[in-house]
A and B are shown apart, each in its own frame.
Chain A
Amino acid sequence: MSLKIIKAGILDTLQDQGRFGYQHLGINPGGAMDRFGMQVANLLAGNEPQEAVMEMHFPGPAILFQQTALIALAGADFSAHVNGEPVHRLQPIIASNNSILRFHAQRSGARAYLAVHGGFAIESWLGSRSTNLKAGAGGYNGRALQKEDELPFRRTVDDRGLQQKEQICLPWRGSDLPEEGATGTISILPGKEWELLSPALQQQLLNTSFLIGSQSDRMGYRLQGEAVQLSLQEELVSSPVCFGAIQLLPDGQLIILMADHQTTGGYPVIAQVISAHHSRLAQRRPGDVLQFRLADQAVAEKLWLQQHRHLLQLQNACIFRLEEWLKT
């Protein structure tokens, strides 16, 4: 009825789409860094898109399945192997009882997602199963997963039926984001303090290749690049901030707020990464290069809707294929 962590990865946490409705109490939404990847993993595993998944960084964990499970992997490619055999990302996988899932290499991306059919039987906190590490609440006991932790499944798959099937990977696939890749530009909208930048500084921001710094994590990415020299007349009082806000630090460097950002901030927000590119951003790693492109509201919304429709199509296809497969 569960899986067990037999070797902990560098940072494995349970995450869902985030904990909304509590930012006015200083409780941030958190949630999966790459929500698209999280949803794809869920849909392939036959779950609702918002089900909690395991978010893994590299080096990843080693996971023992203590019961046959239908699983799916999406997001980063960490070269997953079940019992030593390579398995595909973006494809439903039958992990039989006593099988072990390991990750051999960080081929692409920064965060991989493991969904289990039926989801993890973990209590939710304030309406979400996401792990809030700072508050020590949500997810698995409010902390990252450790060796010997056992995660029970909420639903069991029909064991008899599954063991008669020979294939490990079921014959249908999801896909990554359209036009994905480590090279795509990141589209931004003007932020609250965009107008404080001179046209020359705005142009500089759009012409600079930024490097993602080593001090980048689930809270934020520090960027390295030509300093944006802005002398503020007065300090700003704190105001609400959200995922993708690009803040200008006093030394002229930038930080992009990610899933575990604080709810409010007092640095100038010069731009805002569009929602459709949050996932792309979440799969970049320290050392990768970022380039920004200016978008407008209409473009940002159109790209978001495209992603949304892509997920709906995948959901419909997966429900149909899984039902068919379980019947035969």
Chain B
Amino acid sequence: MNSYPAYRILPLGDAAVLVDCGNTISDAVSHAITGWFRRLQADPLPGMIEAVPAYSSLAVHYDPGAVYKLAPAGQTAYAWMKQQVEKRMAATMTGEKEAPRLVQVPVCYEEPFAPDIEDLAATNGLSVEELIRMHTSVPYRVYMLGFLPGFAYMGPVDERLRAPRKASPAQVAAGSVGIAGNQTGIYPLSSPGGWCIIGRTPLRLFDAANETPVLLQAGDQVQFYSISRHEFENY
């Protein structure tokens, strides 16, 4: 059952440790990261403030004062916390297959919601219809959230949909669905952004008034499906 990716643990300043599985984007590594993250969420380490998963790394933030009291004399809070994190990781089975949550996300790929879709299709030698079909053909894994509240980094998208990042960011509307590299994502808020925008969802990815303010979480599966402009407006 011990199918961990290789990792190193290093300090992230003096109030967090970072578990780093290398500079990689892969489902296997992501499964390990979200598995460790969920264990830490469910059963926080003493002195821990929060854990933050990313593609191939996981930060564990701690209160240096609280941890310092727990550490034996002569040991730094960091060294003690590193040990605790290592122990916890060793005790976490990454082989266990947790059924991921599948979230269906409607997207309108029509104008005026898809300012970059024609260019992207042309650059990649596809018709707009082929592009939409490919983008909606498979579910994507949410690797991590970041950049904005509720912004989910998902992938991998088909190599034939790969998009360059824009040289200068443009203003992007909330709900916009974009592609950058082989990643796809949804802007939860209006923001400057450099991703190629191919559609918009009527779903609210971030709602401060909700008890759970964010729709997607790391480890979710997201299935896009195409809706018309009429459906979007009446969603």
CB of B198 closer than 8 Å to a CB of A: no
Q: Is the CB of A272 within 8 A of B56?
A: no
Are B14 and A262 closer than 8 Å at their CB atoms? no
For the complex formed, measure the closest distance between the CB of B143 and the CB atoms of chain A, giving whole angstroms. Answer: 9
Residue of A nearest to B150 (CB): A26
Beyond A26-B214, A300-B14, 10 additional pairs, beta carbon < 8 A = A25-B213, A238-B54, A238-B144, A239-B56, A242-B61, A264-B52, A297-B78, A300-B13, A301-B14, A301-B78
Chain A residues within 8 Å of B53, by CB:
24, 240
Kindly state whether residue A273 has any CB partner on chain B within 8 Å: yes
Give the contacting residue for A25; candidates B51, B57, B77, B150; CB below 8 A: B150
Q: Mind listing 12 A-B residue pairs with CB under 8 Å? A: A22-B50, A23-B52, A23-B61, A24-B41, A26-B145, A237-B23, A238-B153, A241-B12, A245-B12, A263-B145, A263-B146, A264-B147
**Which residues of chain A are within 8 angstroms of B92 by Cβ–Cβ distance?**
none
Smallest Cβ distance from A203 to chain B, in angstroms?
21
Chain A residue contacts of B145, Cβ below 8 A: 24-26, 263
Question: Are A304 and B64 in contact, with the CB atoms below 8 A?
Answer: yes
Docked complex Cα distance between A126 and B208 (Å): 9
B103 in contact (CB, < 8 A): no
A11 close to B (CB within 8 Å): no
Interface pair A135/B206, CB less than 8 Å apart:
yes
Q: Which residues of B contact A21 (CB under 8 A)?
A: 49-50
Is A134 part of the contact surface with B, judged by Cβ < 8 Å?
yes
Cα(A21)–Cα(B48), bound, Å: 10
Q: Which A24-64 residues have a C-beta within 8 angstroms of B? A: 24-28
Minimum-distance CB pairs A-B, first 7? A264-B146, A240-B59, A137-B208, A272-B13, A300-B14, A26-B145, A25-B214
Q: Which residues of A contact B214 (CB under 8 A)?
A: 25-27
- A302-321 vs B: 1/0 string, CB under 8 Å? 00110010000000000000
Residues 255-292 of chain A, each 1 if its beta carbon lies under 8 Å from chain B, else 0: 00000001111000000111100000000000000000
A239 to B14, CA, bound (A): 17
B208: which of A125, A237, A240, A273 is its contact (CB, 8 Å)? Answer: A125
Instruction: From the candidates B10, B13, B37, name the one contacting A273 in the complex (CB within 8 A).
Output: B13
Contact residue range for chain A?
35 or more
**Considering the chains assembled together, what is the distance between the CA atoms of A264 and B57 in angstroms?**
11
Selected contact of A242 from candidates B13, B37, B78, CB within 8 Å: B13
Report which of B13, B37, B56 forms a contact with A24, defined as CB distance below 8 A: B37
Partner of A20, one of B49, B58, B146, B150: B49
Query: Is A218 an interface residue when CB atoms closer than 8 A count as contact?
Result: no
A200 contacts B by Cβ under 8 Å: no
Chain B residue contacts of A135, Cβ below 8 A: 149, 189, 206, 208
A301: min CB distance to chain B, Å:
5
Q: Is the CB of A298 within 8 A of B76?
A: yes
B109 contacts partner chain A, Cβ-Cβ < 8 Å: no
**A305 in contact with B65 given A26-B150, A237-B23, A264-B54 (CB within 8 Å):** yes
Bound: A71/B59 CA distance, A = 38
- A77, chain B: closest CB distance, angstroms: 28
Q: Are B18 and A192 in contact (CB under 8 A)?
A: yes
A interface residues with partner B (beta carbon < 8 Å)? 20-28, 125-126, 132, 134-138, 142, 189, 192, 234, 236-245, 262-265, 272-275, 297-298, 300-301, 304-305, 308
**B2-56 with Cβ < 8 A to chain A:** 10-16, 18, 20, 23-25, 37, 41, 49-56
A274 contacts B13, CB within 8 Å? yes
Closest to B51 in A: A24
Tell which of B12, B55, B77 has the most Cβ of chain A within 10 Å: B12
Give Cα A138–Cα B149 distance, bound, in whole angstroms: 13
B137-167 Cβ-contact flags toward A at 8 Å (1 or 0): 0000000111111110100000000000000
A297 touches B14 (CB 8 A): yes
Given A25-B149, A27-B213, residue A142 in contact with residue B208 (CB < 8 A): yes
Give the CA-CA distance A240 to B25 in the complex, in Å: 15
**A125–B188 alpha-carbon span in the complex (Å):** 18
With the chains together, A262 CA to B68 CA distance in Å? 28
Instruction: Across the interface, name the chain B residue whose C-beta is closest to A135.
Output: B149
Tell me, yes or no, whether B218 is within 8 Å of chain A by CB: yes
Distance to closest chain B CB from A311 (angstroms): 10
A residues within 8 A CB of B37?
24
Which of B20, B68, B78 is the one whose CB lies under 8 Å from A239? B20
Rounded to whole Å, the gap between the CB of B147 and the closest CB of chain A is: 6
B213 near A126: Cβ-Cβ < 8 Å: yes
Interface positions of B from 194 to 215, Cβ below 8 Å from A: 206, 208, 213-214
Cα of A308 to Cα of B63 in the assembled complex, Å? 11
A135-B206, A301-B78, A305-B68 are known contacts. Are A26 and B147 too (CB-CB below 8 A)?
A: yes
How far apart sit A242 and B53, CA to CA, in the bound complex (Å)? 13
